[in-house]
Amino acid sequence: MRRFFIHLSASLLIASALATAEQRQPNIVLILADDLGYGSLGCYGNQELKTPHIDQLAAGGMKFTDFHSNGAMCTPTRASLLTGRYQQRCVWVPDEELSPIFRKQRQENPIQRWAWGLSTEEVTLPALLQEAGYHTALIGKWHLGYDRKFHPMNYGFDTFRGFIGGNVDYHTHIAGYGTKELDWWQDREIRDEQGYSTDLLTKYACDFIGQNKTKPFFLFLAHGAPHQPWQGREPNRKQSPVENYREMITALDESVGTVMQTLRKHQLETKTLVLFCSDNGPQAPRDFAANGPLKGNKSSLWEGGHRVPMIAHWPGMIAAATSSGEVAMTMDFLPTFTKLAGAKIPEGHTIDGTDLMPILKQEGDINSRSIHWKHGEAWAVRQGPWKLIGQGRKTIALVHVVDDPSETTNHIEQKRDLIPSMRRLHEKWEDEVGER
């Protein structure tokens, strides 16, 4: 009998140690939509489109109403996501250093060929999680360098399915610009296959979850949808751009539903933090209300360029049906995920983002910091409810983006006293990240 109890308590100890380990290292699923606007989902007020699966995710988790992409375009945001730093602080390697083959391709087809890559010296989220024992996958879009030396598996991803460039044809998987070659990868090999890319990526994401159900994993599902070209599931069906666009968002919504169903099937829902967000504001057909009340679209530093949907879901850890007005940014993912994983950021290495778990658990706030954007000559700084927007040396607008998210009232005259300190804050930031 005594032996039985000893055995039992030892088992309990092991079980509780395992439970703690599981809790310490939750799975992380990050689903990134491409060019999805703030107003393009049912749960963010879209009237014409049904997105039941994403809405369900929002109803069971925390829906952010003041979340921002670091950039107003794809590549900058992705760099900040992977590094936890302002993309302006990251090291970028120019094309002069690219391989001779790539340089030759570029000479032959210079139009729109992207000429930079994120340095492999950067400390990246997948590499940190990999070191902490996670199995890591990028399923979807990369867009941080075309050359093979910028291949995602050189940055800490154990596996890669998807495309390197900014977009592909959803049916043929031919690169949208650049070489016009097939851009569809299985790890380090280019391989063609049949299928609609959103659905293929969903399948690979679910396969990866199934293969890794007993160990911690990081799944970065970086959908191409609803980035151009606007193509529905049937390659030969005649539809308007808006009809295609709606179908792309439906496929994206179904992808979220299928991923969640797969997590439930493997009983991983309570062991997995799921985040859904977009990399920048919309580029959408003119007749589609992509941005709700916001002004501006992709590439703009009005709210429409960078305020994006963000939903965090984790039953048991994040209370259901809550909504957060906290100001957060893409670069916050790295510190959040690495802390959850128990991963170690090298000593002395600068991270700009902030751990979001206190917000997700409703135990703290981070609104005292200022956050910054720069897009060409355009710049913006957010401090509390105020956002100052400028172009070069010129100050263009001061807006109260909490009361007036549509940015209809410019307070540049009435609130003149706020401007010098905000400008100084932004200049200090520019000096710090090396943007001036």
Least Å from the CB of residue 80 to Ca ion: 13
Active site residue 206: no
Name the segment binding Ca ion (CB under 5 A); options: 35-43, 106-114, 322-330, 416-424. 35-43
Least Å from the CB of residue 227 to Ca ion: 6
Least Å from the CB of residue 238 to Ca ion: 27
Least Å from the CB of residue 279 to Ca ion: 4
Cα separation of 167 and 139, whole Å? 14
Output 42 or 224, the one with its CB closest to Ca ion: 224
- Our finding on whether 352 is near Ca ion (CB under 5 A) is no
How many residues touch Ca ion under the rule CB under 5 A: the total is 5
Name the segment binding Ca ion (CB under 5 A); options: 96-104, 170-178, 271-279, 375-383. 271-279
Choose among 44, 42, 50, 77: nearest CA to 63: 44
Least Å from the CB of residue 337 to Ca ion: 21
- Our finding on whether 81 is near Ca ion (CB under 5 A) is no
Output 90 or 284, the one with its CB closest to Ca ion: 284
Question: Phi-psi bin for 240: left (phi > 0), alpha (psi -120 to 50), beta?
Answer: beta
Among the listed residues 27, 31, 34, 162, the single contact to Ca ion using CB under 5 A: 34
Least Å from the CB of residue 300 to Ca ion: 13
Output 221 or 388, the one with its CB closest to Ca ion: 221
| C-beta nearest to Ca ion: residue | 74
Question: Phi-psi bin for 384: left (phi > 0), alpha (psi -120 to 50), beta?
Answer: left
Least Å from the CB of residue 278 to Ca ion: 7
Q: Which residues contact 7 (CB under 8 A, 6 or more apart)?
A: none
Output 83 or 167, the one with its CB closest to Ca ion: 167
Least Å from the CB of residue 198 to Ca ion: 15
Among the listed residues 28, 35, 263, 379, the single contact to Ca ion using CB under 5 A: 35
Output 37 or 60, the one with its CB closest to Ca ion: 37
Among the listed residues 105, 244, 280, 297, the single contact to Ca ion using CB under 5 A: 280
- Our finding on whether 74 is near Ca ion (CB under 5 A) is yes
- The catalytic residue among 143, 227, 313, 372 is 143
Output 69 or 212, the one with its CB closest to Ca ion: 69
Show the binding pattern over residues 154-183: x = contacts Ca ion (CB under 5 A), - = does not.
------------------------------
Q: Which residues contact 429 (CB under 8 A, 6 or more apart)?
A: 86, 370, 372, 381, 435
Output 112 or 409, the one with its CB closest to Ca ion: 112
Active site residue 74: yes
- The catalytic residue among 74, 90, 206, 277 is 74
Name the segment binding Ca ion (CB under 5 A); options: 95-103, 105-113, 273-281, 419-427. 273-281
Name the segment binding Ca ion (CB under 5 A); options: 33-41, 150-158, 342-350, 360-368. 33-41
Which tokens hold the place of 173? 């998987």
Give the 3-state DSSP-derived string for the chain, with helices as H, strands as E and coil as C: CHHHHHHHHHHHHHHHHHHHHHHHCCEEEEEEECCCCCCCCHHHCCCCCCCHHHHHHHHCCEEECCEECCCCCHHHHHHHHHHCCCCCCCCEEEHHHCCHHHHHHHHHCCCCCCCEEECCCCCCHHHHHHHCCCEEEEEEECCCCCCHHHCHHHCCCCEEEEECCCCECCCCCEECCCCCCECCEECCEECCCCCCHHHHHHHHHHHHHHHCCCCCEEEEEECCCCCCCCCCCCCCCCCCHHHHHHHHHHHHHHHHHHHHHHHHHCCCHHHEEEEEEECCCCCCCCCCCCCCCCCCCCCCCCHHHHECCEEEECCCCCCCCEEECCCEEHHHHHHHHHHHHCCCCCCCCCCCCCCCHHHHCCCCCCCCCEEEEEECCEEEEEECCEEEEEECCEEEEEEECCCCCCCCCCCCCCCHHHHHHHHHHHHHHHHHHCCC
Among the listed residues 66, 279, 332, 407, the single contact to Ca ion using CB under 5 A: 279
Output 283 or 354, the one with its CB closest to Ca ion: 283
Where on the chain is the footprint of Ca ion (CB under 5 A)? 34-35, 74, 279-280
List residues with catalytic annotation. 74, 143
